[in-house]
Structure 1
Amino acid sequence: MTEVLIIGAGPAGLAAATAARRSGARVVVLDAAEDVGGQYWRHLPAQRPAAREQVLHHGWSRFTALRRELTGVEIVTGAQVWLAERHDDRPPTVHVLVGPADGRDREQRTFEPDALVLATGAYERTLPFPGWDLPGVFTAGAAQALAKAERVAVGRRVLVAGAGPFLLPVASSLIRTGARVVRVLEAGGWGRLGRAWTARPTELLGASHKAGELAGYVRDLARHRIPYRVATGVIAVHGRDRVEEVTVARLDAQWAPVPGTSQRVAVDAVCVSHGFLPRAELAVAAGCVTGPEGAVAVDGDCRTSVPGVFAAGEITGIGGADLALAEGTLAGTAAAGAAPTQAQRRAVLTHQRFAARLSDGHGIRPGWTGWVADDTLICRCEEVTAGELRDIATATGSRGLRSLKLSTRAGLGVCQGRVCGRSVEELLDRTTGGLLDPGRTAARPLAGLVRLGELARMQGDTE
């Protein structure tokens, strides 16, 4: 029997698990959270369930159906995969620590699967701006996670800003926790959004259910009289000990602030999201080829460049839950040694077209650096400012990202560049005239935090 190991229990991982199990494989699913569902279906724990959980989730019935199908699948939660040990002719050996993230006696487990499916999802990206390190500034994903999993509002007067459709469900989640959402700001303008979403309209038929979701969000905004503004963004946050005001401004087509259009808005919390980045460090460690945006390259059956390794969901490119479900089904089927159907492949292609519109309409534009002052923190872990990045790059004359990271310390803190990495790269790329080795911030040999004592115990077990 083929043994399939799946890392990640969000939409892609759950779809892969059920497909692989149906195809006769023995399946193990690893996830760092306390329950399955991922970020998309983050929910209250079993000991304090909600009476109407489906209110805060789209596709909740699909989740419950997938969860019911996990019979016979080993689910390991609280599992921190910290190393994928590369081999030349077979899938990597996966090293895991199981237990609370801050625990001292985590269980060590090692897996050597016949096939590995990476469904590790994505990181949320927030562009830096003056004051983004103040208490009261949240990523939109963090605000939604608190709303879904804890029923906690991040503030009383909240502004939601950034780019992409994700801003709308975040605003809806905040409304349902009692927060007053004062505005929703989309950085893209109507011209760009219109071109992206009206081109080749027949391609949208396969994702027609999205219209119902959009209508629900529009109703929420209208019912609560929440202004929705395009070509507008947060360019600074102000306050003494926490957020008190934000400066918003009109943005041009390249997202540069338009002079004379800024205004201040009184808020006590800001939720910002400018999209997502594939969480690809395990794939990089395993030797998988990635594309220019950091997504893992796969073929038509979700196979990566490494034998026996498959990838599905946001790790292959940001496309939302529907694409993740379709890719997960395809990857799980192929990983189990079965032949994917043409219907499964068509479903992936349909949702990939939808994903392309997301990038075309809401992808980050280079003018954002216009709101970054020299004293704006870029790497918050190591407290490196934009001015320091530029000055050191100019003084050293270096164009190597590795050497610049060592010189500036940017990206070398606790988060290992997960928050600031891409922004650091873009600022250095402009300053140097072109980095020689972009993308290195995704290369993390250790994918998770491991105590020295844990490493020492592992060494002792092998002697």
Structure 2
Amino acid sequence: MIDVIVIGAGPAGLAGAIAANKNGLSVMVLDEFIKPGGRLLGQLHQETSGEWWNGIEESKRLHEEAINLGIDIRSNVSVFNICQEDSLWNVYTDASTFQAPFILLATGAAEYPIPIPGWTLPGVMSIGAAQVMTNVHRVQVGKRGIIIGANILSFAILNELQLAGIHVDRIVLPEKSPLSKDAAVPEEVMKSLLNVAHLAPSPFLRAGSRMMKNVGMRKIGLRLFPKSGVNVNGTSLQLRKAAVEIVGKEQVEGVRVVDIDAQGNKISDSEIEYDADFVCIAGGLYPLAELAAVAGCPFEYIPALGGHVPIHSEAMETPLQGLFVAGNITGIESGKIAMAQGTVAGLSIANKVEKESKTITKKLSQALQQVQTVRQASSIQFNLDINSGRNKMKSLWAAFDVNNSKNIV
């Protein structure tokens, strides 16, 4: 019989499967993609230490370790429902139905779409799709592109596209609307980007970014921000321009933009069109948590974690008996943190089975500390207030009687 079914073969899922298996549990991993790795497969960047983070190599390492341990990994399998009957979880997939007393949901994150007129044209894609096509499938997405949306994700993938020899002409903001929200407000965008000022490509930009952390200086900086943009390794960052339409007859031919003020309001008579043969829309990430919702897990909306997240403990346990979570389903962070959380989840499940074994409890304590260590050392934070978000979840978990599922509201 299977002890644990892990849904999602990304960094959190594979790390969780390995930790559970190493502590005596039989594990099955299910993933809808054609190969394990999740978002790791597209990641390639240089860290502040100078070392390169190669997601493909990291996913290969995790996959090989899992295979060597005898973990059953099944790719190209879609899970569409999970429900609990008595003490077992039923996992319904397009291949078969599986049962186990424990489930680890490591489903990761999805991208926010920002609708823009013309976004159905061939050549328009999410920034994550460009990353996968470039780094996983080795397909050149185009010769001259424009990114709509300036956030941590778009800058990380911009660097990867540049490394692949793909020219991104400029980055502009989306037009202000109820759906684009703060992503269309230059003042808010600049504030969020200051969180990664240390990664700016030149000493001048890094020094200027430190000055912009002062509110008054930031307002002055935005007023003086050049309309032509600031050069980021050959790509023009234009915080004072917004895309109002993607143009083209049968495929992308360009993007129509307008000048905007510090609050994202359009300035009249400022429309201009830039040529492009591909467009990436970067709306950011949110936790992919539908299966937790289907299972009946309670949620909380915490913007600092990226959106609606299932209630969970630091040990990755949810209020539903036998249901655990790890990775970006709990809040948007880096792949390294997802791996650390996966290890915590795997050990937590093993600890439940072994009724709080002293040996596993010690390992779990060390794994929990490792999550904090990795988080503190992380060079990139997708959300500015991640620690406040985690603390809020900690308080919410304390309010639940996890030993009595009848008390769940």
Q: Does the 8 A contact of 2:37 with 2:60 survive in 1?
A: no
Distance 1:91 1:168, change over 3 A: farther
Q: Does the alignment pair 1:143 with 2:130?
A: yes
Q: CA deviation at 1:273?
A: 1.3
Summarize the alignment of residues 387-398 of structure 1 with structure 2, pairs less than 5 Å apart.
none
Q: Does the alignment pair 1:62 with 2:78?
A: no
Q: How many residues align?
A: 327
CA distance in 2, matches of 1:227, 1:42: 24
Q: Does the 8 A contact of 2:258 with 2:272 survive in 1?
A: yes
* Corresponding letter in the other structure for 1:114: P
Query: In the alignment, which residue of structure 2 is the partner of 1:304?
Result: 318
Q: CA deviation at 1:28?
A: 0.8
Which segment is superposed worse, 246-255 or 122-131? Answer: 246-255
Q: Does the alignment pair 1:318 with 2:332?
A: yes
Query: In the alignment, which residue of structure 1 is the partner of 2:279?
Result: 270
Report the secondary structure of 2:273's partner residue: strand
Q: Which structure shows the higher strand fraction? A: 2
Distance 1:168 1:6, change over 3 A: same
Query: In the alignment, which residue of structure 1 is the partner of 2:257?
Result: 248
Query: In the alignment, which residue of structure 2 is the partner of 1:342?
Result: 365
CA distance in 2, matches of 1:279, 1:148: 22
Q: CA deviation at 1:2?
A: 7.4
Query: In the alignment, which residue of structure 1 is the partner of 2:35?
Result: 35
Which of 49, 71, 74 lines up with 2:72 in the alignment? 74
Q: CA deviation at 1:299?
A: 0.8
Q: CA deviation at 1:256?
A: 4.4
What's the % identity of the aligned pairs?
30
Q: For 1:362-395, what per-residue CA distance to the aligned partner results, in whole angstroms no more than 9, with x for missing partners?
A: 9xxxxxxxxxxxxxxxxxxxxxxxxxxxxxxxxx
Query: In the alignment, which residue of structure 1 is the partner of 2:343?
Result: 329
CA distance in 1, matches of 2:339, 2:260: 35
Which of 88, 92, 96 lines up with 2:89 in the alignment? 92
Summarize the alignment of residues 99-110 of structure 1 with structure 2, pairs less than 5 Å apart.
109-110=96-97
Which segment is superposed worse, 164-173 or 271-280? Answer: 164-173
Query: In the alignment, which residue of structure 1 is the partner of 2:149?
Result: 162
Q: CA deviation at 1:135?
A: 1.7
Report the secondary structure of 1:240's partner residue: coil
* Corresponding letter in the other structure for 1:79: V
Distance 1:288 1:68, change over 3 A: same
CA distance in 2, matches of 1:262, 1:57: 40
Report the secondary structure of 2:28's partner residue: strand
Q: Does the 8 A contact of 1:124 with 1:276 survive in 2?
A: yes
Query: In the alignment, which residue of structure 2 is the partner of 1:112?
Result: 99
* Corresponding letter in the other structure for 2:317: R
Q: CA deviation at 1:60?
A: 4.6
Which segment is superposed worse, 313-322 or 243-252? Answer: 243-252
Query: In the alignment, which residue of structure 1 is the partner of 2:8?
Result: 8
CA distance in 2, matches of 1:278, 1:223: 29
Q: CA deviation at 1:132?
A: 1.3
Distance 1:5 1:251, change over 3 A: farther
Query: In the alignment, which residue of structure 2 is the partner of 1:21?
Result: 21
Q: Does the 8 A contact of 1:86 with 1:285 survive in 2?
A: no
CA distance in 1, matches of 2:385, 2:184: 7
Distance 1:249 1:347, change over 3 A: farther
Q: CA deviation at 1:252?
A: 4.9
CA distance in 2, matches of 1:246, 1:361: 33
Q: Does the 8 A contact of 1:184 with 1:228 survive in 2?
A: yes
Report the secondary structure of 2:383's partner residue: helix
Q: CA deviation at 1:151?
A: 1.3
Q: Does the alignment pair 1:171 with 2:158?
A: yes
Query: In the alignment, which residue of structure 2 is the partner of 1:430?
Result: none
Q: Does the 8 A contact of 2:89 with 2:101 survive in 1?
A: no
Report the secondary structure of 1:274's partner residue: coil
Distance 1:289 1:183, change over 3 A: same
Report the secondary structure of 1:15's partner residue: helix
Distance 1:142 1:195, change over 3 A: closer
TM-score by length of 1: 0.62
Query: In the alignment, which residue of structure 2 is the partner of 1:290?
Result: 299
Q: For 1:126-152, what per-residue CA distance to the aligned partner results, in whole angstroms no more than 9, with x for missing partners?
A: 211111122221111111111122211
Report the secondary structure of 1:131's partner residue: coil
Distance 1:32 1:167, change over 3 A: same
* Corresponding letter in the other structure for 2:138: R
